[in-house]
Structure 1
Amino acid sequence: MNVGFIGIGSMGSLLIDAFIGSGALKPSQITASNRTLAKAVCLADRHPGLQAVPMNRDAVIGQDIVFLCVKPMEYKTVLDGIREHVQASQLIVSITSPVLLDQLEDALPCKVAKVIPSITNYMCSGASLCMYGNRMTEADIARLNGLLSYISEPLPIDESHTRIVSDLSSVGPAIMSCLLQRFIDAAAEETGIPREQARLIASEMLHGTGQLLTSGGMSPEELQARVVVPGGITAQALALLNRELDGVFNRVIRATHAKYREDLERVADSLYGKEVNGP
């Protein structure tokens, strides 16, 4: 299998590192292009055998799967530049949530899919959220999922749920690490414990908690019930948290969805022109 990457920013380079590190792909199976060629060359230096190419079309020609890892407003330029070089048998995979499957199918004469990765995939953990275009066969789906399974749990989702599942899977690590950071900072401020010691303890706690909630089979409610003693210290802590956090995550979700709707409109305007959405 030969795999192309267009765009090797934070997530594109993470996927390449993860695929190579997990043994899913050899560097010689990967071709990468980037707006700044020097960045692709640096990646090739890190992974000898990987091909860094100057043009996006060079990352498409001869590839079985091509990952598009560019920002939403860059899609029109990228799609216009590769359209004539895409073959019907190829699979183009977008990792950009506000670019819709039907827009990709309108723009390209091939099979398309959308995958929302997570930073947790770098550790061969977490989920890859998968949406499949109408031209994909069961064999195409199996091939894509087989590749993704090296670094994640491929989970099929409905495209209408893209934003909320992205919040949980891709935004979630940043939210959880933000909460953990605030917990660590407060511990150091209130007690004088060395911050690095607090960070190590809290990080191991989060790792173990994740295992309990996955392979351990516990739900969040069950885990809390196992820790809380009525009238005890943990009960006091959770009562305070529940008061202070009331409605916070509802507002977080509303904020991410508002930005997503804005991005959807901007992408549609870019791909089709403003007349599609009215004046």
Structure 2
Amino acid sequence: MNIGIIGTGNMGTILVEALIDGKAISPSSVMITNRTKSKAMLLKEKYKHIKIAANAVEVAAESDLIFICVKPLQIFKILDEINSYLGKEKCLVSITSPVSTSQIEKKVSCSVVRVIPSITNRALAGVSLTTFGENCSDYWKVEVEKLITKISVPVSIDENITRVASDIVSCGPAFFSYLLQGFIKAAVKETEIDEETATIFASEMVVGLGELLKQGHYTLPSLQEKVCVKGGITGEGIKVLENEVGDMFEHLFQATHAKFKEELSKVEGQFFNN
């Protein structure tokens, strides 16, 4: 199977690296292209047998499975460029949440899938959110799921929870990285610990927390209960969190959903008016 990747920005690069390192595909089966060619060349330097295409049309013409890893408002233009090369036997995968499979299916005749990845997939971990187009063939449903299973846990989602699922799975690592950095900075500011040591401790703590949950030793509430001994020091810290976190996370989801609606409107304008 020939794999094409259109767009090797952050997520496109992560997808290529994860699929190759996870043994889902071989470098020689991959053709990539990017508007800034130097970004594509970085992957070529790492994986010598990857092929670099001149443009999206060449990728579509030479590939059986094509991943479009570009910003939402760039997808419509690319679909126009490559449409004539997307026969029914091929499959197109979009990784962006504001563009639905049904919108893409109105433009192309091939099978369509949306896969929303996470940066955690780079470690061959975490979840990828999948939505199969109404006309996606059974063959491509199986093949895409096989690939994604090599780098993550694929979870099929309904359209109505696309944004919140993406907030948790895809944006979540950035949100909690921000919180963890604040946790570390406060430790350094308020005590005698240095930043390097605090970062090591905090990072290993998060890795250990993940393993506890993954291995099923605790649920989130039971873990908190085990650590938070009645009348102890942890309980004092929890009180601060209860008092100061407040509606922060509600505001976070309100902000991401407002931005999502804005992007949906722009994308719908492209597809509706053409």
TM-score by length of 2: 0.97
Counterparts in 2 of 1:1-279, with a 5 A limit?
A: 1-273=1-273
* Alpha-carbon distance, 1:190 to partner: 0.7
The one-character-per-residue Cα deviations of 1:41-70 (angstroms, maximum 9, x if unpaired) are: 332222111010112011112322111000
* Alpha-carbon distance, 1:272 to partner: 2.4
The whole-number CA distance in structure 2 between the counterparts of 1:65 and 1:239 is 51
- Report the AA paired with residue 224 of structure 1: Q
The one-character-per-residue Cα deviations of 1:173-215 (angstroms, maximum 9, x if unpaired) are: 0111111101100111111211000000100000011111222
Aligned-pair identity in percent equals 39
The whole-number CA distance in structure 1 between the counterparts of 2:215 and 2:91 is 33
- Report the AA paired with residue 161 of structure 2: H
The whole-number CA distance in structure 2 between the counterparts of 1:218 and 1:108 is 46
The whole-number CA distance in structure 1 between the counterparts of 2:217 and 2:175 is 23
* Alpha-carbon distance, 1:243 to partner: 1.3
* Alpha-carbon distance, 1:38 to partner: 3.2
The whole-number CA distance in structure 1 between the counterparts of 2:104 and 2:90 is 13
The whole-number CA distance in structure 2 between the counterparts of 1:139 and 1:235 is 53
* Alpha-carbon distance, 1:217 to partner: 4.5
Change (3 A) 1:222 1:193: same
- Report the AA paired with residue 84 of structure 2: E
The whole-number CA distance in structure 1 between the counterparts of 2:92 and 2:217 is 36
Runs of 4+ in 1 over 6 A off after TM superposition: none
- The CA RMSD over aligned residues, in Å, is 1.2
User: Please, which runs of 5 or more residues in structure 1 have no aligned partner?
Assistant: none
What SS class does the counterpart of residue 93 from structure 1 fall into? Answer: strand
What SS class does the counterpart of residue 129 from structure 2 fall into? Answer: strand
The whole-number CA distance in structure 1 between the counterparts of 2:96 and 2:212 is 31
TM-score by length of 1: 0.95
- Report the AA paired with residue 178 of structure 1: Y
* Alpha-carbon distance, 1:138 to partner: 3.2
The one-character-per-residue Cα deviations of 1:207-226 (angstroms, maximum 9, x if unpaired) are: 01111122224221111011
The whole-number CA distance in structure 1 between the counterparts of 2:2 and 2:95 is 18
The whole-number CA distance in structure 2 between the counterparts of 1:244 and 1:41 is 47
CA contact 1:37–1:53 (8 Å) conserved in 2: no
